[in-house]
Structure formats: C-alpha cells, structure tokens
Structure 1
Amino acid sequence: MRNKRQLLIEQLDQKLMKFQESALVLVPTKGWINTIRTTLNMTRDQLGTKLGMSKGAIQKIEEREAKGQITINKLKDVGQALNMKFVYGFVPNDGSIENLIRLESEKLARKIVLRTNQNMKLEDQGIGDEKLNDTINDLANEIKREVRKSLWD
C-alpha cells in the first residue's frame, strides 16, 4: 500500500519526466537572452524598448545571464518581452526522485549496518557477508519507505 509520501514522489516524478530530454540542452555561451535576441534579429535597443530600458542595460542583463548572475524575476521579465515563457526547474541526475531516494537509502543503510557490524566484530559477534547484504537491503527498503529526514544528513 502506498503512503502519502510515495504518492507525492510518484506525482513529482511524472511532472519531472517531461523535462528529462530538456536537461540535455546546453546553455549557449553568450546565454539564452543574447542567443534568442540575435536569432530573432532583434537589436538591444528594440529589446530595451520592450523592457523600458537602455541598450546598455540590456547588454548588462545579457552579460549577467551568461555569468549566471541574473535573477529569476529578470529572466521572467525578459521572457515576457520576447513573448516567451520562462521555464525553471530541477531534473534529477539519476532519472527520477525515486532513484535518488533509493540510492541515498542504500548509502545510509550501508553506513549504518557496516558501523554496527564493526562494533559487533570487536565483540566477536560480526555477521557474514550474505547476512550483511540482506540486512543492508532490508534497512535500505525501510529507509526508502519512510523517506527519513536523516537520509539527507
């Protein structure tokens, strides 16, 4: 039975799936604003007029975007002036939120079980590799199911 957290994860993964392909798009060297403006054969003066700014201010905006020093609100404003929608978001490196949680759960479970097993070995009570792997998998599944906050420590 799925709990509320699992349902939220599934819903977010469905929304983010649409962006997986776009994550492969590289930002142009001069930034999107400059690239789109020049592709549209629009001058800085013309874009400036739409934004109520000078040609020099548009140049600064383009430079700040290329350096990654521009605000999201400014990008939205420029998008509106270009009659385009500004899109912003994050896409998981490993394909989905579920995979991200699974990998982190396995990492945390391994850390906990190996630390505990080390202490048990010192007392001559360590467990074998097969039992160790089973214990790691069981704990990882439990951590994944609960999505513990400690997962992100």
Structure 2
Amino acid sequence: MNTQKLRQHQVDKHLEPFRQLARRRVPTGGWLKTIRLALGLTLRQQAKRCNIAFPTLHSTEHSEAEDRITLGQLRKMAAALDCELVYALVPSKPLSEITETQAEKIAQEEVFSVAHSMALENQRPTDTFLAEQIESRKRELLTGKWSKLWG
C-alpha cells in the first residue's frame, strides 16, 4: 500500500464515527440555545455565566443559528455550557472513492479525446478497447502523484 493510500485509509477510519453525526441537522435556533434551554438557563443567567452582556449572548446565539459564528466563539460558548465543541469535515463518500472518481474522469477525458480524433479518420476503436484503455490510464493515474489528479 503506498503512503497516499495509507494516509487516505487512516483519515477515512478516523472519520468513521462522525459519518452518522454528519447526517444530523442542527436544531432550529442552534445548539447553544437548545442546550441552554434544556439546562433551564435564561439568556440573562447564561450571559452572567459567560461574563458577557445579555445582548451579546443573544446575538451570539443568532449567529450560531445562522452559521455566522466563528469556531473560537462557539468553543467559548460551548465551554460555558459545560460542553465540548467537536469539529470535523466529513466527506460525503470515502476518500478513496473521491480519488478514484477523479482519476476515472481524467482517464475518460484523455482516452475519449484521442478516440474522437480517430473517429474523424474513421478509425474509432471498439468500446471494449476504450474501456480497457480508460481502466489502464486510471490505474496509472492512481499509482502516480495524486496532486496531478486535481489539475
């Protein structure tokens, strides 16, 4: 296994516990407000616990609900609620699949551009031959530097 594949495998494995969480929606009003209310805290009580003004907390809760809050602010507010901020980027599919799809796309573009030129000269190869060439080029791309996949 090459180092690129190993790194990809390790990241995918590390992200596995987050995959189910990624499908969940943020509660209406955001997590800060939801947890504060579940704890039975008023805005004023929580603002006092955070050592910030009531309007600032109100504005911060709205910022979080509208995806305008910074990670630093969210981390600070989470700590004031005795919560931990968990942060992850979760790919929509395994990283290996994303990489293979990109390699396949490039291989198809390259092979079909040559096939098109050959077709103009009435020498178009068979579909089976083209599929073999695409697969061969895809494998070649995946064994090379992956940075070349992203142009």
TM-score of the superposed pair, with normalisation by structure 1: 0.90
- Residue 79 of structure 1: aligned partner: 78
**How far apart in 2 are the matches of 1:59 and 1:5?**
46
Deviates further, 104-113 or 63-72: 104-113
- Residue 134 of structure 1: aligned partner: 132
**How far apart in 1 are the matches of 2:115 and 2:43?**
65
Which segments of 5 or more consecutive residues in structure 2 lack a partner in the other structure? none
1:43-88 CA distance string (max 9 Å, x none): 1122212221111111100111111111011111111111111011
Preserved contact between residue 101 and residue 147 of structure 1 (Cα < 8 Å): no
Which segments of 5 or more consecutive residues in structure 1 lack a partner in the other structure? none
1:11-52 CA distance string (max 9 Å, x none): 101101111111111111211111111111111122212221
Preserved contact between residue 9 and residue 98 of structure 1 (Cα < 8 Å): yes
CA RMSD of aligned residues (A): 1.5
Alignment size in residue pairs: 151
- Residue 63 of structure 1: aligned partner: 62
**How far apart in 2 are the matches of 1:145 and 1:48?**
55
**How far apart in 2 are the matches of 1:108 and 1:138?**
12
Question: Taking structure 1 as reference, are residues 124 and 87 closer, same or farther at Cα in structure 2, changes over 3 Å only?
Answer: same
Preserved contact between residue 6 and residue 145 of structure 1 (Cα < 8 Å): no
List, as ranges, runs of 4+ consecutive aligned residues in structure 1 with deviation greater than 6 Å: none
